[in-house]
Amino acid sequence: MKKLMSLVLAAAMGAVLFAGCGASGQDDWQYVQDKGTLKIGITLYQPMNYKDENGNLTGFDTELAEAVCEKLGLTPEFVEIDWDQKVVELKSRSIDCIWNGMTITDELKEQITFSNPYSGNAQVCVINTANADTYQTLEDMAGAKVGAEAGSAGEAAVEADENLSQGELVAMTAQRDTLLELKSGTIDVAVIDQVMAEASVGEGTSYDDLMIVDGIALSEEEYGIGFRKDSPLADKVNEALQQLANEGVVAELAEKYPSVLVKLQAE
């Protein structure tokens, strides 16, 4: 009986120790500290992570991640990923977190641990201005050819809507691809993040011939940073985010990137 009890206790302790650990059993926070780098999984889209006119990576998420890494004594390493494979990349330790305007969903919560929400968002419909009279409502879009990023909240919103789901859904590798296809006329509607749409289309942008359809918000969402399940790294990043909010850094970034619906507030 004593031997059996010892085995049960050992198994229980092993389960506790494994929480937040990678395949090697090493604590996730210790693992990142030992490396000295934080590998951050991203895709390119404005205003969260994108290339400026000189080809340098910038954006709200980019700058916020850099500030957090400075707080934690880590060097940020940004890695472009296939968004549809983001959880696979995270679990395999190809990256240490997903930080790219990622919508917090119940489905993802089952697989990864999220930071505290740091931004709001919604899914919106973008069309060519030449079709402004054609697509004014979701009912008008029934049967339209709709583009969305594969594995994104936009794709889920299209599939869930009784009108948009009637047409052909074109799943693309990245949100920015939907705007390219829309501009070229190969799709009729792009369903993308409101944060991206407000920064990327309309007067003064590269997509001045595209527009957001007024009055349509397919879902109300929150952005979070994704970590391996039960990783203690999430708590460390949450602490750093709050410190940056208290110091006014987050407010400065909100002014610089006004389309981001910042939720982090100073305490």
Give the pLDDT confidence of 162-198 residue by residue, as tens digits.
999 999 999 999 999 999 999 999 999 999 999 999 9
- Do 130 and 113 share a structural domain? no
In a domain, 18, yes or no: no
Contact (Cβ atoms closer than 8 angstroms) between residue 59 and residue 47: yes
Domain with 45, as residue range(s), is 23-120+222-262
- Do 215 and 127 share a structural domain? yes
- H runs (alpha helix) in 92-137: 106-109
Number of neighbours of residue 219 by Cβ within 10 angstroms: 18
CA distances in angstroms from 39 to 77, 169, 225, 250, listed in the order given: 5, 32, 13, 21
Could you give the CA distance from residue 111 to residue 57 in angstroms, rounded to a whole number?
29
pLDDT at residue 20, as a whole number: 45
CA distances in angstroms from 142 to 95, 128, 182, 189, 190, listed in the order given: 39, 16, 17, 11, 13
pLDDT at residue 26, as a whole number: 58
Pairing type for strands 37-42 and 75-80 reads parallel
Residue closest to 165 by CA, chosen among 142, 186, 182, 181: 142
- Do 239 and 108 share a structural domain? yes
pLDDT at residue 201, as a whole number: 95
Contact (Cβ atoms closer than 8 angstroms) between residue 169 and residue 142: no
In a domain, 231, yes or no: yes
In a domain, 5, yes or no: no
Question: Can you list the residues of the chain whose pLDDT is less than 50?
Answer: 1-20, 22-25
In a domain, 242, yes or no: yes
For residue 84, the Cα-to-chain-centroid distance in whole angstroms is: 11
- Do 184 and 160 share a structural domain? yes
Task: For residue 115, give the 3-state DSSP assignment.
Answer: coil
Contact (Cβ atoms closer than 8 angstroms) between residue 28 and residue 232: yes
Does this model's pTM top 0.85?
Answer: no
